[in-house]
């Protein structure tokens, strides 16, 4: 009989779950016909091993894509912070001068023109 208050957690993290599944499957294979896991009725390690291999391959590919995506985001951010932000800022400044009497025209260029009054901030009394 199992001891009371003993927990044997199943990992929630995909990588840890695959690692545990691989360990269980390896031990099951080592034991062969003597493995107590052969008695399971609802699951079979013979079929689950195929799913595990597919999951491991998908995980490996996802990791590669994450690294590639991180690199691409870095390239994008470098470009945005350089030329793109500079030209957009300069364009805004030029249009503010060109349309000084009617800033709403800047909306035609895609700029958001917010002419609502700023909320007044009450001064806090000094202590």
Q: What is the mean pLDDT of each run of 10 residues along the chain (127 residues)?
A: 82 96 97 95 94 97 98 96 94 96 94 86 73
| Maximal CA-CA distance, the chain | 88
pTM value? 0.64
Task: For residue 50, tell me if it sits in a domain.
Answer: yes
CA–CA distance, 26 with 24 (Å, rounded to integer): 6
Task: For residue 77, tell me if it sits in a domain.
Answer: yes
Structural domains of the chain, count: 1
Residue 103 CB-density burial (10 A; 0-12 exposed, 13-18 middle, 19+ buried): middle
- pLDDT value at residue 91: 96
- CA distances to 67, 68, 80, 82, 87 from 74, rounded to whole Å, are 11, 10, 10, 12, 20
Q: What is the DSSP secondary structure assignment for residue 81, as one 8-state letter?
A: I
Number of H helices, E strands in the chain: 3, 0
- pLDDT value at residue 1: 58
Task: For residue 94, tell me if it sits in a domain.
Answer: yes
* Structure tokens, 45: 């390690």
Task: For residue 75, tell me if it sits in a domain.
Answer: yes
CA–CA distance, 28 with 53 (Å, rounded to integer): 16
The domain in which residue 94 lies consists of 14-105
């Amino acid at each position: 009989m199992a001891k009371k208050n003993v927990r044997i957690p199943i990992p929630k993290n995909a990588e840890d779950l695959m690692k545990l599944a691989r360990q269980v499957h390896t031990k099951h294979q080592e034991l062969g016909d003597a493995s107590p896991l052969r008695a399971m009725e609802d699951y079979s390690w013979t079929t689950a091993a195929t799913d595990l291999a597919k999951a491991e391959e998908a995980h490996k590919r996802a990791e590669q894509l994450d690294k590639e995506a991180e690199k691409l985001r870095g390239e994008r951010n470098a470009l945005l912070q350089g030329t793109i932000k500079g030209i957009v800022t300069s364009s805004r400044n030029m249009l503010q001068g060109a349309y000084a009497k009617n800033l709403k025209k800047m909306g035609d260029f895609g700029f958001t023109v917010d002419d609502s009054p700023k909320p007044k901030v009450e001064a806090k009394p000094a202590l």
